[in-house]
Amino acid sequence: MQNKSIAELAADLRLRRYSSLELTRHYLERIERLDARLNSYITVDAEGALAAAERADEALRRDAAGPLTGIPIAHKDIFCTAGLRTTCASRMLENFTAPYDATVVERLAAAGAVVLGKTNMDEFAMGSSNETSHFGPVRNPWDAARVPGGSSGGSAAAVAARLCAAATGTDTGGSIRQPAAFCGITGIKPTYGRCSRWGMIAFASSLDQAGVMARSAADAACLLDEMAGFDRRDSTSAEVPVPDYVDSLDDDLHGLRIGLPKEYFGEGLDPGVARSVEAAIREYEQLGATIKDISLPNSPLSVPVYYVVAPAECSSNLARFDGVRYGHRCEHPASLEDLYTRSRAEGFGAEVRRRIMIGTYVLSAGYYDAYYLKAQKIRQLIAQDFRRAFEEVDVILGPTSPTTAFALGAKLDDPVAMYLNDIYTIATNLAGLPGMSIPIEPVAGLPVGLQLIGNYFQEARLLNVAHRFQHATHWHQAAPAGFE
Ligand code: GLN
């Protein structure tokens, strides 16, 4: 059952080949048996999942099923879930239970999805390896000595290991695409504003976007159909109509214009990853696409710009965790100031504290113009590069990450080396564009991701371009040994 697509599962459920209760029990049993190796879940909600499965079976019996009725999924532990703990992988929120569901959670529930639990992640989504989690690192199902990527590493590992049919993720600088690449799955970060941020714990509000992690573009389309759309509770939510993402999956690719940015194929790119990406590009030529070399001249500035903008916004967003209203509170504070400082020092891990300090610095009087304002200006130039490129091409292709998954601990003491992992993904967030990662030919047994970047609100096109590739190849079907 765990290898079936979401469309197949939904059809089986409708035909009563098995019930949602059986399917949900099957996933819970797999989690119980296999997740000790991965640590991909922070919280498993067996009771809630079984109750939701029973409701799903009843809806199926009444012929009142929605598109995802009875399908077991998982949520990244950054999405608030009413009555079910939401930790953001931080000691700060270790015992936090939100009184409401995030919009994305609410919409997937309304479509009938069953929630198995909450997946592990980097603390407050800050990281590229899932090693900053208060609940311990996640291991890569393809090689337990390696990281799954981050920050949505738990969702990526759980989907790859077939411990849920699909999962939600969030992407501020690459957190859906990079772990998707490292774990050999399909991930889509929609256009900024496409999915509501309401109830999604904020990291860097002008960059954060919810998306899907799944085994195929077709599965991702099924979830995105439900998640996307305007939400009046999120002031940056886009009031743009949502097409049916499943409808256009099979559209022909003849005449598709693909751009290859020369900046994404230079120094630092692993030669094995480069070869694999080149083979994927040849496959697209076979499918009828034409290839054009392009340039995104300001993209080398995206990492430095991001590490001004994201920490600035994080320092402001995380100011709410003061030990007073919710979250961790220190014991026996001597004064109000002591309460603030000790609660925050105890509640936040090292990476989160580093970012709050950088962010506070770049926003402080005298430095604001030199850093934050300057970064915002360069951000405009980066977006302009893409606008120019999309006058000539329909999609941009390149590697998702410069290397395959690295060893646990390898970059933990070198934040800059860790930050460079997202060199190809960050510009997309700075520009607000949609991006995807799909598995292509592995290197030395490790998954490799191909990144697809589209113009604003072109998610349907991206999913179509990804689906046609997956129709013609089998890389996305491979399962890690021991998790088949
Ligand atoms: N790795 C990047 C960071 O640490 C991106 C994280 C994300 O997309 N949430 O900020």
Distance (Å, rounded) from C-alpha 179 to C-alpha 439? 11
Whether ligand 1 lies within 6 angstroms of the CB of 446 is answered as: no
Residue with structure tokens 């009563």?
A: 16
Ligand 1 mutation pick, 128, 182, 430, max ligand atoms within 8 A of CB: 128
Active site residue 175: yes
Contact predicate 150/128, CB 8 Å: yes
Distance (Å, rounded) from C-alpha 440 to C-alpha 185? 10
Distance (Å, rounded) from C-alpha 3 to C-alpha 456? 32
Long-range contacts from 284-289, C-beta under 8 angstroms, 24+ separation: 284/253, 284/256, 284/258, 284/397, 284/465, 284/469, 286/472, 287/253, 287/254, 287/256, 287/468, 287/469, 287/472, 288/252, 288/253, 288/254, 288/255, 288/256, 289/253, 289/254, 289/255, 289/256, 289/257, 289/258
Spacing, Cα 450 to ligand 1 middle (Å): 18
Whether ligand 1 lies within 6 angstroms of the CB of 173 is answered as: yes
Whether ligand 1 lies within 6 angstroms of the CB of 172 is answered as: yes
Spacing, Cα 124 to ligand 1 middle (Å): 9
Helices (H) and strands (E) in the chain, counts: 15, 11
Q: Which two tokens stand for residue 232?
A: 């009046």
Helix (H, G, I), strand (E, B) or coil at 182: helix
Determine if the pTM surpasses 0.95.
yes
434: nearest Cα among 464, 462, 408 = 462
Spacing, Cα 104 to ligand 1 middle (Å): 20
401: in domain: no
Per-residue pLDDT in tens (0 to 9) along the chain, 484 residues = 999 999 999 999 999 999 999 999 999 999 999 999 999 999 999 999 999 999 999 999 999 998 999 999 999 999 999 999 999 999 999 999 999 999 999 999 999 999 999 999 999 999 999 999 999 999 999 999 999 999 999 999 999 999 999 999 999 999 999 999 999 999 999 999 999 999 999 999 999 999 999 999 999 999 999 999 999 999 999 999 999 999 999 999 999 999 999 999 999 999 999 999 999 999 999 999 999 999 999 999 999 999 999 999 999 999 999 999 889 999 999 999 999 999 999 999 999 999 999 999 999 988 999 999 999 999 999 999 999 999 999 999 999 999 999 999 999 889 888 888 899 999 999 999 999 999 999 999 999 999 999 999 999 999 999 999 999 999 999 999 999 9
Distance (Å, rounded) from C-alpha 230 to C-alpha 393? 28
The C-alpha angle 41, 319, 88, rounded to 5 degrees, equals 5
Contact predicate 59/65, CB 8 Å: yes
Q: In what order do the strands lie in the sheet with 114-119?
A: 41-44, 114-119, 72-76, 166-170, 210-214, 186-189, 435-443, 446-454, 395-399, 257-261, 290-294
Atom of ligand 1 nearest to the CA of 176: 8
Spacing, Cα 419 to ligand 1 middle (Å): 8
Atom of ligand 1 nearest to the CA of 355: 10
| Helix segments in 212-335, DSSP class H | 217-227, 271-286, 302-317
Spacing, Cα 385 to ligand 1 middle (Å): 22
Spacing, Cα 126 to ligand 1 middle (Å): 5
Whether ligand 1 lies within 6 angstroms of the CB of 128 is answered as: yes
CATH number (domain holding residue 188):
3.90.1300.10
Distance (Å, rounded) from C-alpha 360 to C-alpha 311? 8
User: Which residues, including other chains, have CB under 8 Å from residue 44's CB and lie 6 or more apart?
Assistant: 28, 31, 32, 35, 116, 117
Whether ligand 1 lies within 6 angstroms of the CB of 405 is answered as: no
Q: Whose CA is nearest to atom 5 of ligand 1?
A: 173
Whether ligand 1 lies within 6 angstroms of the CB of 310 is answered as: yes
285: in domain: no
Q: Which residues pair with 407 in a beta bridge?
A: 146
Whether ligand 1 lies within 6 angstroms of the CB of 422 is answered as: yes
Distance (Å, rounded) from C-alpha 197 to C-alpha 376? 21
Distances in Å between the Cα of 133 and the Cα atoms of 71, 157, 420, 478 are 27, 14, 20, 28
193: in domain: yes
Q: Which two tokens stand for residue 61?
A: 């019996």
Whether ligand 1 lies within 6 angstroms of the CB of 126 is answered as: yes
Atom of ligand 1 nearest to the CA of 419: 1
Catalytic residue among 19, 20, 40, 76: 76
Q: Which residues pair with 192 in a beta bridge?
A: none
Q: Which residues pair with 416 in a beta bridge?
A: none
pLDDT of residue 304: 96
Distance (Å, rounded) from C-alpha 276 to C-alpha 393? 22
183: in domain: yes
Active site residue 129: no
pLDDT of residue 417: 84
Domain count, the chain: 1
Distances in Å between the Cα of 141 and the Cα atoms of 22, 106, 340, 481 are 25, 29, 39, 8
410: in domain: no
Domain, as residue range, for 87: 6-254+434-477
Catalytic residue among 19, 133, 151, 343: 151
Active site residue 128: no
